[in-house]
Amino acid sequence: MKNGIKQEMQDIARGALEASRVLAGVSSGRKNAALKDMARALLADKPSILKANRKDLAGCSAKGKAFTDRLTLNADRIKQMAGGLLDVAKLDDPVGEVMRNWETPGGLRINKVRTPIGVIAIIYESRPNVTADCAGLCLKSGNSVILRGGSESLNSNIAIYKVLVSVLKKHSLPCACISLVQTRDHKAVDALLKLDKYIDVVIPRGGESLIRKVVSSSRIPVIKHYKGICHVYVDAWADLNMAEKVCFNAKVQRPGVCNAMECMLVHRDVAARFLPGMLKKFREAGVEIRGCDFTRKIAGWAKRASEKDFRSEYLDLILSVKVVGDIEEAVAHINNYGSHHSDSIITDEPEEAEKFLRRVDSACVYHNASTRFTDGNQFGMGAEIGISTDKLHARGPMALEELTTYKYVVFGSGQVRN
């Protein structure tokens, strides 16, 4: 039986590769027409999708509120999925863009041209909306996609997948450019992750444990972020009103996401002025504070922060707080304890800002703004397939452009090398 799954995954992957070679040559117009039609079809097939979703929901009532919320579809969420596909249709097609061109002394004209990557595998949790979102982004960027969602969402995913593939057929596009792994067997993922001959990149979307599992068993390159331990550093030259507003937003506005602040650093010179009001505000909002000794002198009610706290992504109304002696200590703390995701400095002193922005080794560094802006839509990319804290290929929010590679197209007139 294991061999059966291996063979099945290989067939899917090989089909995806062949389809990707066709898709790479399809015009933007044809891709956009299919995307718009997929949006229409999702809305038209709402009843069958919701029926499948109810079946999924019935199967996992005991998994907790957050889990159920992610798994649940309703009319509004299907409308959002459809809207997402329409948005992607409107975005510029990155494929074919001449990124640079020049001529060599020998008269060769070289164009560096953006091309699709080829075959992308997405491994995600039981969130059926990801199925449509990722299929749309991959189609638009000319890539075949292999989707593997959480097994609890399989019925919903199959229903959505069927709608998308029927539209591919209608538009004479190769069906294999969108594939869904339709088994709950976890061996399917292991088998998939060995197929570096066919699959170019894996993008896991979900919690840290899912991502670590993918990384440890993949022979295919993975683009990922493990977690978001984001900092705001309130500098000695900070506008303290602004600092309070930004820190509050970064922690409280949506604590369960990767770009929320998990640790606040405060310069010693302003701690006594800044912390009492700030911590009171956090306390009133139900934020649990875990502070350094200095912090606890100001707020005796705060818990003591451990080493582990400074390495924790709470994804909750919990905040670690540390008072630092200078900007060097702040930068070193962020580089050592952070996750290279998003970090912000609040200061009115441009030199301090520059030091921070240059030295903090994170995908996104902010001056006088909330870390919550790290997001493909907020950055104006029009979409997001994930956020990378890796340094190769893509860093920060990833959208269409990050789903492409390039080739060098060289035009000669019979040149040979001496």
The residue ranges that bind its own copies (CB under 8 A) are 21, 24-25, 102, 104, 106, 108, 110, 117-118, 200-201, 221, 223, 239, 242, 245-246, 248-250, 253-254, 335, 357-359, 361-370, 372-374, 378-380, 390-393, 395-396, 405-418
Q: What is the CA radius of gyration of the chain?
A: 24
Q: Return the number of the residue (236 or 369) whose C-beta is nearest its own copies.
A: 369
Which residue reads 């959208």 in tokens?
399
The continuous run of DSSP H or E covering 345 comes out as: strand 342-346
Nearest approach, Cβ of residue 27 and its own copies (Å): 12
Q: Which residues contact 158 (CB under 8 A, 6 or more apart)?
A: 52, 180, 182
Nearest approach, Cβ of residue 362 and its own copies (Å): 7
Nearest approach, Cβ of residue 182 and its own copies (Å): 27
Q: Return the number of the residue (183 or 335) whose C-beta is nearest its own copies.
A: 335
C-alpha to C-alpha distance for 269 and 236, rounded to whole angstroms: 6
Q: Return the number of the residue (44 or 410) whose C-beta is nearest its own copies.
A: 410
Q: Return the number of the residue (15 or 150) whose C-beta is nearest its own copies.
A: 15
Alpha-carbon distances, residue 352 vs 236, 238, 277, 300, 368 (angstroms): 9, 10, 24, 31, 12
Nearest approach, Cβ of residue 58 and its own copies (Å): 36
396 near 341, Cβ under 8 Å?
A: no
Give burial (CB, 10 Å; 0-12/13-18/19+) of 59.
Answer: middle
* List of E strands, 58-183: 98-103, 109-116, 119-124, 144-148, 178-180
Nearest approach, Cβ of residue 382 and its own copies (Å): 12
Give residue 288's Cα distance to chain centre: 27
Q: Which residues contact 397 (CB under 8 A, 6 or more apart)?
A: 374, 375, 376, 378, 379, 381, 384, 386, 387
Nearest approach, Cβ of residue 251 and its own copies (Å): 11
68: helix, strand or coil = helix
Q: Return the number of the residue (250 or 305) whose C-beta is nearest its own copies.
A: 250
Q: Return the number of the residue (132 or 146) whose C-beta is nearest its own copies.
A: 146
Q: Return the number of the residue (169 or 358) whose C-beta is nearest its own copies.
A: 358
Q: Return the number of the residue (40 or 359) whose C-beta is nearest its own copies.
A: 359
Nearest approach, Cβ of residue 387 and its own copies (Å): 11
Terminus-to-terminus CA distance in the chain, angstroms? Answer: 57
Q: Which residues contact 241 (CB under 8 A, 6 or more apart)?
A: none
C-alpha to C-alpha distance for 136 and 121, rounded to whole angstroms: 13
Q: Return the number of the residue (295 or 374) whose C-beta is nearest its own copies.
A: 374
Nearest approach, Cβ of residue 188 and its own copies (Å): 23
Q: How many CB atoms lie within 10 A of CB 149?
A: 27
Nearest approach, Cβ of residue 395 and its own copies (Å): 6
Q: Between vectors from CA 138 to CA 133 and to CA 144, what angle results, nearest 5°?
A: 125
